[in-house]
Chains A and B, each alone.
Chain A
Amino acid sequence: MSSVFRISRLSALLLFAAAVAMPSGEVLAKEIVLGASVQLTGPVANTGRYYRDAYQLAVDRINAAGGVKIGNDSYKLALKLYDNQSDVNLSVRQYTQLVSQDKVDFLLGPFASNFALADSAVSEKYRIPMVQGGGASDQIFSRGFKFIFGTLAPASNYFGSTIEMLKGLDPAPKSVALLYADDAFDVSVAEGTRPKLKKAGLTLVMDERYSTNATDFSSLLSQIKSKNIDAVLVAGHETEILNFVRQAKSLAVAPKMYSFTVGVPSEDFRKALGTDADYAFGMTAWLPSADLKDRWFGDAAQFAAVYKAKFGYDPDYHAASGVADVEVLVQAAEMAGSTDPAKVRDALSKVKFDSLYGPVEFNESGQIDLPQTVIQVQGDRLVAIYGGNRKIAPPKYPMPAWDVR
């Protein structure tokens, strides 16, 4: 080995070290890193993608508009995203990694209540604020945690507006069936729904819990038919509700109305069911209305157009809620004039602003309160029926038998 070679290797090493030590322009720009673990693969990937796309779109948009202004400095947003493969345990490990190793500044949420329930323990432990738009269960906010904020309307009130609507229908429904999956979100929905039904004077004839990921609903449907139930309220997941509707058709079970907590607002769900989606009621806390003004996107209608153009599918409330999560963190950081987690946390608890998702403001426990608008599939359109204690459009009611549709 010649000494020339050795020297050149040494100098190369020095050069490299110098290059690393020399701060480049990129590194100098101040950054706020948002971390999240989202379901990009696995059984819930279908909804997880809303959050990936919403976070990315919001970050890009805010950066394009000059980023975050804290004091006299301007910060760029960066996103650190992991795929939790729809596995709760993995998501907890990833959030731990995000705060302990990646040292992200703030956390954005995963999808679904059972994930948010577990992952919020990480944000609480490390005292890093997490704003999440994927978990609506009231359980998430009933533990006195200080660092978790949620932008999804409370699960306990999902059927609130639907029950208000039921009272005004003609012929009035009398008997109700409540079916719900055995997970955090759906159990919260059921617990919130029971007293509301009672108050409205409706009789709860069937109150049945079923296993998450159940595929066969024929026994439950046969009971609905045999008890001649008027209104069926189902709190579950999209796959279960797809099976429920298909099996209702094949068993010729047609109550006067049925309503589902999820699925109806999502384009993919309606596509999978085709014409069988007709008459299904659902709810959403968000519709892409031009009345919802936004600092970065103009308004919700413009946001929906940009989103669709970029990702090729329509946003629903999951996506809007995800964008609101990024926006609310930016608002809070600007309000606090700092990126200090504790100061931003305090700002979050006081934040109040209008966004494309609606007015954002958290209560004591960190949860937003948004009313649900009842929606219904009518032909190939999704129609807003009832919201804010008033009728918006006439519902198609009662649902006709399957063989005369």
Chain B
Amino acid sequence: MDLLAQVLVNGMLLGGLYAVMALGLALVWGVLNIVNLAHGAFIMLGGYLSWYLYTYAGIDPFLGLPLTAVVMFAVGYGVQRGLLNLIVRAPMFNTLLVTFGIEVVLTYLAQLAFSADFRTINPSYVGDSIALGTVVLPVSRLLAFGIAILLTVSMWLFLLRTRLGRAIRATAQNLVAARLYGVEPRHLYAMTFGIGIALAGAAGGLYGTVSQINPYIGAALTAKSFAISIIGGLDNPLGVIVGGLFLGILESLTALYIGSTFSDVASFGVLVLVLIVRPTGLLGKAA
């Protein structure tokens, strides 16, 4: 019983981290209709940025997240404005090719710039844990979980309440009508992509505190984010949290009861099921 409780907690906390990773991908996908295959590579870059800030400037990885996010926002804005806007209305296949290209370029540039050495962001407190009875709560994952909830709720409020957020939603729903109301899509797309990449950057910083960073972590993280976005649905940031938690708990329980090698089978199996049964995601509106 203790073991089950512990594994459930592990799964929830893992799910929070998953959600933060997928948030940016889901936003960009939902609004721009771009499946950003370079998403994981941007997470990797955010991880390195946090690592450099921590190792050379002594900035705490959690306090440094806003700085990482701002830099990554600028990168994302630039990439969308200078590159992706050229193909945003092209068939999806082209955007897949271009973002795949970006992923390859970023990964190999990262190896040139940072070497293939493993990096961990390891301030003294990240390995600490809080004992709640027999259940142990790892501090770093708890913080990551808290930040995931915070970011998701702020995203949700931002899209719902602010002028920019409404403009983003309007553009996603009906581009022509939005333009008639004075929305400038090029800027708006770049803002959206920038926010998506800023979220990826923040996720990278969190990832570095619980796992390890090397230039090649991106592809697997993209795949995970992709699965979560589909399971959660693209309509609503809250769906991403649900998708992340669902996947985290599912994987942990699979590892406990069936075997660790089946974790991926379970998560991608559910992905296929969701696509068949509820193509708009667990929280998505029925099509």
Q: Which residues of A contact B (CB under 8 A)?
A: 41-43, 45-46, 49, 86, 182, 208-211, 213-216, 218-220, 222-223, 225-226, 238-239, 242-243, 246-247, 249-252, 268-269, 271-274, 276, 402-403
Q: Are B120 and A43 in contact (CB under 8 A)?
A: no
Instruction: Select B255's contact among A45, A220, A276, beta carbons within 8 Å.
Output: A220
Tell whether A242 pairs with B6 under 8 Å between CB atoms, given A41-B111, A213-B220, A274-B122: no
Q: Are B3 and A251 in contact (CB under 8 A)?
A: no
How far is the CB of B12 from the nearest CB of chain A, in Å? 11
Q: Are A246 and B118 in contact (CB under 8 A)?
A: no
Q: Are A214 and B263 in contact (CB under 8 A)?
A: yes
Q: Are B120 and A218 in contact (CB under 8 A)?
A: no
Instruction: Select B260's contact among A49, A214, A274, beta carbons within 8 Å.
Output: A214
User: Which residues on B sit within 8 Å (CB–CB) of A276?
Assistant: 122, 127
Contact indicator per residue, chain B 105-135, by CB within 8 Å of chain A (1) or not (0): 0001001000011111010001111010000
New A-B contacts (6) at CB < 8 Å, excluding given A210-B261, A216-B10: A211-B264, A218-B11, A218-B13, A226-B2, A250-B126, A252-B131
In the assembled complex, the Cα of A238 lies from the Cα of B211 at a distance in Å of: 12
Cβ-based interface call for B251 (8 A)? yes
User: Which residues on B sit within 8 Å (CB–CB) of A219?
Assistant: 7, 10-11, 252-253, 255-256, 260
Contact indicator per residue, chain B 124-158, by CB within 8 Å of chain A (1) or not (0): 00111101000010111100000000000000000
Q: Are B120 and A272 in contact (CB under 8 A)?
A: yes
Q: Are A238 and B261 in contact (CB under 8 A)?
A: no
Q: Who on chain A is nearest to B138 by CB?
A: A250
Instruction: Select B3's contact among A214, A222, A271, beta carbons within 8 Å.
Output: A222
Q: Are A402 and B127 in contact (CB under 8 A)?
A: yes
The secondary-structure label for the interface of chain B is helix
Interface centre among A246, A250, A403 (most CB of B within 10 A): A250
Q: Which residues of B contact A (CB under 8 A)?
A: 2-3, 6-7, 10-11, 13-14, 108, 111, 116-120, 122, 126-129, 131, 136, 138-141, 210-212, 214, 216, 220, 251-253, 255-256, 259-261, 263-264
| Pair count A-B, CB < 8 A | 119
How far is the CB of A228 from the nearest CB of chain B, in Å? 11
Q: Who on chain B is nearest to A45 by CB?
A: B116
User: Which residues on A sit within 8 Å (CB–CB) of B210?
Assistant: 246-247, 250
In the assembled complex, the Cα of A219 lies from the Cα of B252 at a distance in Å of: 6
How far is the CB of A101 from the nearest CB of chain B, in Å? 26
User: Which residues on A sit within 8 Å (CB–CB) of B263?
Assistant: 211, 214, 216
Q: Are B118 and A268 in contact (CB under 8 A)?
A: yes
Instruction: Select B14's contact among A209, A218, A220, beta carbons within 8 Å.
Output: A218
In the assembled complex, the Cα of A41 lies from the Cα of B3 at a distance in Å of: 40
User: Which residues on B sit within 8 Å (CB–CB) of A211?
Assistant: 260-261, 263-264
In the assembled complex, the Cα of A252 lies from the Cα of B212 at a distance in Å of: 19
Q: Are A182 and B252 in contact (CB under 8 A)?
A: no
Q: Are B10 and A208 in contact (CB under 8 A)?
A: no
How far is the CB of A114 from the nearest CB of chain B, in Å? 16
Q: Are A222 and B6 in contact (CB under 8 A)?
A: yes
Q: Are A252 and B120 in contact (CB under 8 A)?
A: no
Q: Are A43 and B214 in contact (CB under 8 A)?
A: yes
User: Which residues on A sit within 8 Å (CB–CB) of B2?
Assistant: 226
Q: Are B108 and A41 in contact (CB under 8 A)?
A: yes
User: Which residues on B sit within 8 Å (CB–CB) of A268?
Assistant: 117-118
How far is the CB of B114 from the nearest CB of chain A, in Å? 11
25 residue pairs of the A-B complex, CB under 8 angstroms, read A42-B216, A43-B216, A45-B216, A46-B117, A86-B216, A209-B261, A211-B260, A216-B255, A216-B263, A218-B10, A219-B253, A219-B255, A222-B10, A222-B256, A226-B2, A238-B118, A242-B211, A242-B212, A246-B122, A250-B128, A251-B10, A252-B131, A268-B117, A274-B122, A276-B122
How far is the CB of B200 from the nearest CB of chain A, in Å? 17
How far is the CB of B54 from the nearest CB of chain A, in Å? 12
Q: Are B259 and A209 in contact (CB under 8 A)?
A: yes
Q: Are B260 and A220 in contact (CB under 8 A)?
A: yes
